[in-house]
Structure 1
């Protein structure tokens, strides 16, 4: 019974006050062993695969249909790999495979670990604003990002980004429509579909960044590919569905 509860047994809705995503391009061979056998890497020009860090301020997260006053506000950090999955019917889905999830809320850690497989841990989060910059940091998780506030239509792509322009970069901006979890013993794929509105990612210029977790992955030749922010997005996740792989 308890294992079944982890399979996203009901739809969940929330409001993303902000979501800041740093996406790193890595030679595809570096990420192949980070994903389960049922998934393939979502690559660019069959050369680069991508790992992203999403820092999300959520508001009013609750079972879908419940009143807002029953929702909860907290900060989420997700480390995800861009992947593809082919269903039994042959439909090809683009999505994310989660490597690590963190939150600043003990309640979210407790509830998230009952109803998902994401293995949440709690950490400290500090947010700072100046007239021209925004920063998010954590002492416990040892990460720091500082970005310029977006006050112009276009900003430059990060140096060494594999993308030629932001049209290419937006394909790997996230969030993607699907998130996947895999139970190897049962060969079961759990598919969670997200539904978003008013999705208009804005390119952001990074001033500084450091993620201890990414350094621990021993990724060679990883480069910052893009940085995007979305604000004020209604979002919900459908009830998870399971299919047996092969």
Structure 2
């Protein structure tokens, strides 16, 4: 019964006040060992794979169809790898594989771990904005991020593998699908996200310190892009299970 509950048994909706995403490029060989065998990294120029760190301020998160006043407001942080999956019908899907999730409230940790496999923990994260300067901080998670969301002349980070913002936007997230893989079988849980008017805007990164990326297994990373979206509705469909064909 508990296993069934964790498989996204119902659709969920929320309003995104903001979603700030910083994407880091790593050599493909660094990220491949982090993925289950059903998934492969989404590769750029045959050498780069990517981890996205998303900090999302959600409002009225609730089961889809419930009135907004029954929802809850949370800050959610996700550490996700851009991946591809070939489903049982041979169709190639592009999406994300979640390594870790964080939130600012114990309630979201409990519910998130009850209804998903996203490995939620609670942390002391705060998101503050003064004009176009947005700050994200967490002592426990080693987060200290500042971006300028009002810089019309924002340039790609130094050392980014992308040549322009058009290339970079392909790795801005979120992607249509999120995948969870069963370690004891060939089952792959697919969660589809639905959004409208999703136009990520480039931001200038003034400072970025991300404790998660100091893990010994994550060597050779570099900041590749940073985008923000604001004020959009979003929902996730009920999870669907696919059987991976080896």
Q: Give the shorter-chain TM-score range.
A: over 0.9
Name the counterpart of 1:229: 228
Q: 1:120 to 1:158 in 2, by over 3 A?
A: same
SS in 2 for 1:172: coil
CA distance in 2, matches of 1:4, 1:130: 43
C-alpha deviation, 1:63, in angstroms: 0.6
Query: Once the 2 structures are TM-superposed, how far is the Cα of residue 24 of structure 1 from its aligned partner?
Result: 0.3
After superposing on structure 2, the runs of 4+ consecutive aligned residues of structure 1 that deviate more than 6 Å are none
For these two proteins, the number of residue pairs brought into alignment is 245
Secondary structure of the structure 2 residue equivalent to 1:107: helix
Within 5 Å, give how 1:132-147 maps onto structure 2: 133-147=133-147
Could you tell me how far 1:132 is from its partner in structure 2? 5.1
Structure 2 residue aligned with 1:243: 242
Partner of 2:161: 162
Is the Cα contact below 8 Å between 2:149 and 2:228 reproduced in 1?
A: no
TM value normalised by structure 1: 0.97
Rounded to whole Å, the distance in 2 between the matches of 1:135 and 1:184 is 37
Q: CA deviation at 1:128?
A: 3.3
TM-score when normalising by structure 2: 0.97
Supply the distance in 1 between the matched residues of 2:132 and 2:229 (Cα, whole angstroms). 18
Compared CA separation, residues 132 and 178, structure 1 to 2 (3 A): closer
Once the 2 structures are TM-superposed, how far is the Cα of residue 119 of structure 1 from its aligned partner?
1.6
Q: Secondary structure at the match of 1:114?
A: helix
Matched, 1:126 2:126: yes
Q: Secondary structure at the match of 1:31?
A: helix
- Superposition deviation, residue 130 in structure 1: 3.4
Partner of residue 63, structure 2: 63
Matches for 1:24-39 after TM superposition, within 5 Å: 24-39=24-39
Superposed, which structure 2 residues align to 1:37-52 within 5 Å? 37-52=37-52
Listed as ranges, the matches of 1:1-246 within 5 Å are 1-131=1-131, 133-152=133-152, 154-246=153-245
Question: 1:131 Cα shift?
Answer: 4.3
**Within 2, Cα distance between the matches of 1:131 and 1:73?**
22
Q: Secondary structure at the match of 2:238?
A: coil
- How much does 1:96 deviate? 0.2
Structure 1 residue runs of 5 or longer lacking an equivalent are none
RMSD: 1.1
Offset of 1:149 from its aligned partner?
3.1
Deviations 1:11-61 (A, max 9, x none): 001111000000001110010001100001101011100001000000111
Q: Distance in 1 between matches of 2:114 and 2:3?
A: 9
